[in-house]
Amino acid sequence: MTGLAPAILACESGPVTAAVPRADVLGPLHGSIWIPEIQGTTRAKAAQLARQLVDEVKATGHLPANLGPPLGRVGVNHLYLAFAEPLWIANLKMVQGDDMDPDLDVNSIFRDTRLQTWTLKPAIVPV
């Protein structure tokens, strides 16, 4: 999230950047809401939520559990889904292309991509 939110904010002023700095951040201090209080958003509202996330991480060193005003909140997990879903779809289309080995386990690649975007940790190949 600390990579996706700045990338969303960078889109407001120009093209997507090739890289954003990776921040070491701790998880939320309490649980997120289970059901988002809004069911859709505009680009401007998504940028506002991204800005709130970046500001709260800077101030506290933790991901916020929830973002937005009362009755308009989303959990950090919901925001992650909204920001990362285009990455997952693009990745899934890529690994299901004609150039891929048909015996390759696409579900594992998809799962690992999702995990890596959540943690934003460097990928390593187990030995």
Instruction: Count Cβ atoms below 10 Å from residue 125 Cβ, excluding itself.
Output: 4
In terms of Cβ atoms closer than 10 Å to its own Cβ (0-12, 13-18, 19+), residue 3 is: middle
The answer to whether 81 touches 36, Cβ cutoff 8 Å, is no
User: Tens digits of per-residue pLDDT, 64-103?
Assistant: 999 999 999 999 988 888 887 766 666 666 666 666 666 7
The dihedral over CA atoms of 96, 102, 107, 108, expressed in degrees to the nearest 10, equals -120
Q: What is the b/e burial string over 13-28, where b = at least 16 CB atoms within 10 angstroms of the residue's CB?
A: eeeeeeebeeeebeeb
Residues 7 and 94: their CA atoms lie apart, in Å, by: 21
pLDDT band at 25 (very low <50, low <70, confident <90, very high): confident
For residue 70, the model assigns a pLDDT of 92
Q: How far apart are CA 86 and CA 89, in angstroms?
A: 5
Q: How confident is the model at residue 61 (pLDDT cuts 50, 70, 90)?
A: very high
From 19-23, 36-40, 45-49, 93-97, the region with the lowest mean pLDDT = 93-97
